[in-house]
Amino acid sequence: MLHKGLFITATDTEVGKTVITGALAAAFKQRGLQVGVIKPVASGGVRNNNGQLVAEDATFLLKATGLDETHRKVINPLCLAPALTPAVAAVESGITIDIDHLESCCQNMLNSCELGLVEGVGGITAPIWADYLVADLMKTLALPIIIVARPNLGTINHAVLTAHYARQRGLTVLGFIINSWQDETCGVLEQSNLDYIKRLTGLPILGKFPHSNKISVPQAKIGNLAELANHHLAIDQILRLTEEDNSHE
């Protein structure tokens, strides 16, 4: 069964998937939508005050969606300690990743809300377990994709290759969101990056999310997430594209 939702991926790790996922969730909630969020697997977990291994990404998403700790396992079913790609982190931890379980967790989340956001780990070809990649999870869930990209040098190559690979796998890409955009310092480099990404992929830039000292994933600071999302992201266009993709299925 297909559901209305989005899969948030990125051109690489540490690009800002979690910030953008949280920003979208906060903005959608502000519009009165019942929003669900899941990061099925995370690596680089840390110990909290109770000695529990937790993902900082999940903590941030809990705050962004206004949920408490009782929802942690729903938002992040699997957290691994090593800061490695999940397949390797699991082996290093002596854990076998149950792909069927992760897929079921995603489906359950999508079943429980009006609009579900699934955040990937690393880039689109990051191995979750053995030869099962993030792209395989995307294919199973059949959700349209938004790619988060950097504004700096090298982003054209990463963005174009990510979009091309996704399409090669039969996935629908709605467009790009550029994270850590700074209007006051951007120049020909950043603007030409955007122009070439649009030209070479034929996909829209759905927003340029600014850097903010009030927002931090490691510190679980969400600042004015919804306000920034509404101002800098094409929220209504994203909702419309998601609706259109869902109606084609």
Question: Looking at the annotation, which residues are catalytic?
Answer: 39
DSSP, collapsed to helix, strand or coil, labels residue 3 as: coil
Spatial distance between the Cα atoms of 212 and 11, rounded to a whole number of angstroms: 21
DSSP 21-88: HHHHHHHHHHTT--EEEE--EE-S-EE-TTS-EE-HHHHHHHHHHT--GGGHHHH-SEE-SSSS-HHH
Tokens linked to 181:
């955009």
Angle at 145 between CA 106 and CA 17, to 5 degrees: 80
Angle at 194 between CA 181 and CA 173, to 5 degrees: 100
Spatial distance between the Cα atoms of 233 and 64, rounded to a whole number of angstroms: 16
Angle at 96 between CA 82 and CA 106, to 5 degrees: 90
Distances (CA, A) of 141 to 6, 64, 76, 134, 225: 10, 23, 17, 11, 27
Location of structure tokens 């890409």: 173
